[in-house]
Structure 1
Amino acid sequence: MDAQNGGTLTPVLLNVYDLTPVNDYLYWLGFGVFHSGIEVHGMEYGFGAHDFSSSGVFEVESKSCPGFIYRKTLWLGTTDMSREEFRSFIEKLAGKYHGNTYHLISKNCNHFTDDVCKNLTGKPIPGWVNRLARVGWYHCMFCFLSW
């Protein structure tokens, strides 16, 4: 229970998925290509690409995101938001994540879950989940600056 308002604290979980079987090897080297979804109140929320200017945020049953191989769940913290408050929060945040703005390096599913996590817990998702995008971003910036 949350002593401040008498509400129940709900776990904020990160479900991590492999995008490729090569992750079985890369994972142990601190790399990998991962998809992540945030689980709160028993449902999972993710962000994906499509060709339209509507939201790319979607809701699925926990640990069963289609097209990906479930790897693990990480406990990120808790929130005192009720189910209704959380749904309202996600709907508002979804306006920033249109399907046609998805970008593998600068605005991917892991950026979405990081945004949700920071808003709910004040902390980011673990760095290894989106490390490849950061490495790719630095590589792109190096190439651009070298040009």
Structure 2
Amino acid sequence: MASATESSSDASESSDKSGCEVYLHVYDLSENTKWLADEFSLKDYNCGAFHTGVEVYGMEYVFQYYANEPDNNELSGVSAQIPRTDSAYVYRTTIDMGWTNYSNDEVHRIIYEEMRPQWIHNTYHITKRNCVHFSSALCRRLGVKDVPDWVFGAAKTADATRGISALADAAWRAAKYWNSYYYNDDDDGESTGRNEVDPETTTVTFPYHVQQ
């Protein structure tokens, strides 16, 4: 069991042959959604709204939609970042997902040769194919535990309810249409990742709480 003060990035120091620990970082979408989730115990009813990223070998991998590239069918939504540094969200907790037996090189191939081509940014959907779905797919591919139901939260609940699912579809189509209108052709789209870093040259050495 990992201690409360153990840095998940310590796993990156393990031998490639022995694998490493995998962590799920969970974020609230904003201070407002965090307050709502805490005040009304939305987590207990699987009604929260969360962003997630999977940390393996000291890097955190996320999936997102790039609003300035709505028609780019080749741009992957998968990017790497230093764990817990995404300032667009409010960090909530870290969950120990278990041990992967894959080496660092094998994980790199899984993410960059398998996952990135499969997870194109504009296939993102707020309830059907979001960052939590990506985290779930990556965790299963790494052979560790799946994402808990409470993390899927309101997205899974909405998708299982016909009326709400239809409303979510309409809202997402409207949002994408607005993005297409808002971002003009002068935007070169070069800025496509929040805090994206090169996993080959970055090391992480800070501790944080791990939820068992």
- Scaled to the shorter chain, the TM-score interval is 0.7 to 0.9
In the alignment, residue 86 of structure 2 is paired with which amino acid?
Answer: C
Counterpart CA distance in 2 for 1:9 and 1:140 is 42
Alignment-derived partner of residue 17 in structure 2: 7
Match of 2:115 among 90, 93, 96: 93
Gaps (5+ residues) in structure 2? 1-15, 167-212
Alignment-derived partner of residue 19 in structure 1: 29
In the alignment, residue 110 of structure 1 is paired with which amino acid?
Answer: V
Runs of 4+ in 1 over 3 A off after TM superposition: 140-144
**1:83, distance to aligned residue in structure 2 (A):** 1.2
Counterpart CA distance in 2 for 1:105 and 1:142 is 10
Alignment-derived partner of residue 82 in structure 1: 103
Counterpart CA distance in 2 for 1:48 and 1:117 is 17
In the alignment, residue 102 of structure 1 is paired with which amino acid?
Answer: Y
Are residue 110 (structure 1) and residue 132 (structure 2) matched?
A: yes
Task: Assess, with a 3 A threshold, how the Cα gap between structure 1 residues 143 and 108 changes in structure 2: closer, same or farther.
Answer: closer
Moved more, 17-26 or 97-106: 17-26
In the alignment, residue 34 of structure 1 is paired with which amino acid?
Answer: F
- CA offsets, 1:15-63, max 9 Å, x none? 0111022323324332321000000000000000022221000100011
Counterpart CA distance in 2 for 1:143 and 1:102 is 15
In the alignment, residue 29 of structure 1 is paired with which amino acid?
Answer: L
Counterpart CA distance in 1 for 2:149 and 2:165 is 23
Counterpart CA distance in 1 for 2:86 and 2:48 is 18
Match of 2:59 among 43, 63, 66: 43
Per the alignment, in what secondary structure is the counterpart of residue 18 of structure 2? coil
Task: Assess, with a 3 A threshold, how the Cα gap between structure 1 residues 122 and 11 changes in structure 2: closer, same or farther.
Answer: closer
In the alignment, residue 135 of structure 2 is paired with which amino acid?
Answer: T
Q: How many equivalent residue pairs?
A: 139
Moved more, 52-61 or 121-130: 121-130
Counterpart CA distance in 2 for 1:18 and 1:78 is 25
RMSD of equivalent CA atoms: 1.9
Higher alpha-carbon Rg: 2
Q: Is the 8 A contact 2:98 2:144 kept in 1?
A: no
Counterpart CA distance in 1 for 2:61 and 2:165 is 34
Name the % identity.
Answer: 32
Q: Is the 8 A contact 2:97 2:144 kept in 1?
A: no
Counterpart CA distance in 1 for 2:21 and 2:84 is 15
Are residue 29 (structure 1) and residue 42 (structure 2) matched?
A: yes
> TM-score by structure 2 length?
0.61
**1:96, distance to aligned residue in structure 2 (A):** 1.1
Match of 1:65 among 86, 95, 98: 86
**1:76, distance to aligned residue in structure 2 (A):** 0.4
